[in-house]
Amino acid sequence: MPITTVVFDAYGTLFDVAAAARIAAAEPGREAFAAKWPEIASLWRAKQLQYTWLRATSNTHCDFWQVTQDGLDYALEATGLASPELRERLLALYWQLSAFPEVPAMLDALKAAGYNTGILSNGSPEMLAGAVKSAGIGGALDTVLSVESIGIFKPHPTVYAMVDQHFSTTPEQVLFVSSNGWDAAYAARHGFQTVWVNRVGEPADRLPSAPQHMMQDLAGIPDLAAAL
């Protein structure tokens, strides 16, 4: 069955989650932060994701903005750089994340070829709207789906079913793309064709299912969708 719909994770897939820390590190007077920003960005992202899993398994859901703040607070304290001013600056920048360079042309190519396009994300609707606007890609997306409508984070199976329900598709008609190997793996378990965008060459997660495809960036997504 041919692919009709291409759906993307948001943070780390379309949007560069390290951009907030990288921009702040380049600002005057932030020498101490600049020396540690890659470590902080990595730890911030890791704790943000860990908190989503813990809240999903413990039935203590909150929105993604809360776990984003909690992850940052942990990272700043762990690196000895806890500061209200730095915290507020980094959180403000998180609402202005840029898309990876290949994203606009890739989405335009998908739309030109007639595919349905969308985002399926843990992000809150407000956060996702801000990121889409900041990146200037709203015109190439048919929908932005947030887990807030069902109240549980990925990789719960009901999250992936949101795509089927919204687009009235079967899973086999969907190509799902994520920079998180675990996300692509569980989307594959749902029945999607999946791509793991492995930008930094990480090893594969040991999970009950696995992504069918792996790429280093998103540029090849339109060709892959056409080939499936």
Query: How far is it, in rounded angstroms, from Cα 149 to Cα 164?
Result: 15
DSSP character at residue 203: P
Tokens standing for residue 146:
């947030």
Residue 205 annotated among the catalytic residues of the structure: no
* Nearest one of 218, 18, 224, 227 to 107, comparing CA atoms: 218
* Nearest one of 159, 157, 107, 158 to 132, comparing CA atoms: 107
8 A C-beta contact, residue 161 and residue 124? no
Catalytic residue among 9, 16, 63, 183: 9
Catalytic annotation, residues: 9
